[in-house]
A = this chain, B = another copy of it.
Amino acid sequence: MGLRVGVVGASGAVGQTLLRILEERRFPLDTLRLLATERSRGRIIRVGEREVEIEVVRSGCFRNLDLCFLAVPGSRVSRELAPQAVAEGSVVIDKGSAFRMDPDVPLVVPEVNPDAALGHHGIIASPNCTTTPLVMVLQPLRQSAGLRRVIVSTYQSASGAGQKGSDELRQGSIQALHGHEVPHAVFGTPLAFNAVPQCDQFAEDGYTLEEWKLVRESRKILGAPELRLVATAVRVPVFVAHSESVYVETDRPLSVDEVRSILSVAPGVLVEDDPARAVFPTALRAQGTDEAHVGRIRRDLDEPTGLHLWVVADNLRKGAATNAVQIAELLTRGGL
């Protein structure tokens, strides 16, 4: 028995990955319909071996769907379409930021808070692509030793800003290698061969919205509204996979061996940590995978309960599409 599934935003970076992952994981599909706004009318999208024509969103288009993935940039389109889809009888899994902090909407990483998904009222949100791997690593440490505080510096890839972000990095790199000026429009500053300490817009307090997402979403998923967590979010010239330099203070001290053994049995986490053989996660190695990769695990030099970790995940897969499909799998197991 398959489900009737819709995907809004199928032509974007996350949408394309979503279609691939539905297939890879043999998600039980009865029908798959691709929906988009007027702009994409008539466009054909390849899904496996079939070619599917995009339907334009209109009143009633979500009727006869059991489940709908929203993989659209920004939050405006989600805010408009999610309530419509729910009213027309579909459950919505939103990859965007529109509803993540809505107290009425569960924000779910299936390895961390699967039960939250079952209490939904039609909409379930999937977290920001830096949040997901971080909480997958924090949750087992918290369960074993408590969390006192977390400080994160990120190394985020261009595809976090969508296909346009990757295209701009590619074009900019070619221009830079030819000694030309690097044009930019998606990013506020040329990204090619640069490190840019801005992801998303600035809030009035000097933090960016991306930094606030990491803080607030982590607290919500972990059910720890008082968790002391802070971030500096930086864009680097990488196509896919976000990396994070993470400092964690636990309540009770953990040895490096304890951390390795806790994380090696944590669901969805892959420990890659053998400095003597130069084994550690990198963006290129994590690309195309579904795990939160962790390495460079070491005790702080001064703080007895301080730990440093290097966490990497494919932002299009586990950071976005894979997590959304896993939420759908939870629902199918729960009978939707």
Determine if A194 and B296 form an interchain contact, defined as CB atoms under 8 angstroms apart.
no
Determine if B215 and A301 form an interchain contact, defined as CB atoms under 8 angstroms apart.
yes
Determine if B276 and A197 form an interchain contact, defined as CB atoms under 8 angstroms apart.
no
Q: How many copies does the complex hold?
A: 2
A219 → B minimal CB distance (Å): 11
Determine if A195 and B238 form an interchain contact, defined as CB atoms under 8 angstroms apart.
yes
**CA–CA, A265 and B174, complex, Å:** 39
Determine if A282 and B155 form an interchain contact, defined as CB atoms under 8 angstroms apart.
no
A185 → B minimal CB distance (Å): 14
Would you call A247 an interface residue if the criterion is a C-beta within 8 Å of the partner chain's C-beta atoms?
Answer: yes
Judged by DSSP, the binding face of A is mixed
Would you call A223 an interface residue if the criterion is a C-beta within 8 Å of the partner chain's C-beta atoms?
Answer: no
Determine if B237 and A278 form an interchain contact, defined as CB atoms under 8 angstroms apart.
no
Determine if B206 and A296 form an interchain contact, defined as CB atoms under 8 angstroms apart.
yes
List residues of chain B with CB within 8 A of the CB of A308.
230, 232
- A206-B296, A232-B245 given as contacts; is B283 within 8 A of A195 (CB)? yes
A294 → B minimal CB distance (Å): 11
**CA–CA, A300 and B231, complex, Å:** 9
Determine if A236 and B155 form an interchain contact, defined as CB atoms under 8 angstroms apart.
yes
Determine if A190 and B228 form an interchain contact, defined as CB atoms under 8 angstroms apart.
no
Would you call A51 an interface residue if the criterion is a C-beta within 8 Å of the partner chain's C-beta atoms?
Answer: no
**CA–CA, A96 and B261, complex, Å:** 39
Determine if B206 and A275 form an interchain contact, defined as CB atoms under 8 angstroms apart.
yes
List residues of chain B with CB within 8 A of the CB of A177.
170, 173-174, 177
CB contact list, A271-297 vs B, under 8 A: 275-276, 278, 280-284, 295-297
- A206-B297, A302-B228 given as contacts; is B189 within 8 A of A282 (CB)? yes
- A232-B245, A232-B310 given as contacts; is B298 within 8 A of A155 (CB)? no
**CA–CA, A312 and B234, complex, Å:** 13
List residues of chain B with CB within 8 A of the CB of A306.
230
**CA–CA, A174 and B192, complex, Å:** 13
**CA–CA, A281 and B301, complex, Å:** 29
Determine if A193 and B280 form an interchain contact, defined as CB atoms under 8 angstroms apart.
no
Would you call A243 an interface residue if the criterion is a C-beta within 8 Å of the partner chain's C-beta atoms?
Answer: yes
Question: Which single residue of chain B is at the shortest CB-CB distance from A284?
Answer: B194
Determine if A278 and B195 form an interchain contact, defined as CB atoms under 8 angstroms apart.
no
Interface string of A216-254 (1 = CB under 8 A from B): 000000000000111010101111000101010000000
Interface string of A96-128 (1 = CB under 8 A from B): 000000000000000000000000000000000
Question: Which single residue of chain B is at the shortest CB-CB distance from A228?
Answer: B302
Supply 14 further A-B pairs (C-beta < 8 A) apart from A155-B234, A198-B278. A151-B151, A151-B247, A174-B177, A196-B282, A197-B243, A202-B275, A202-B276, A206-B296, A206-B297, A228-B303, A234-B310, A236-B236, A237-B238, A247-B247
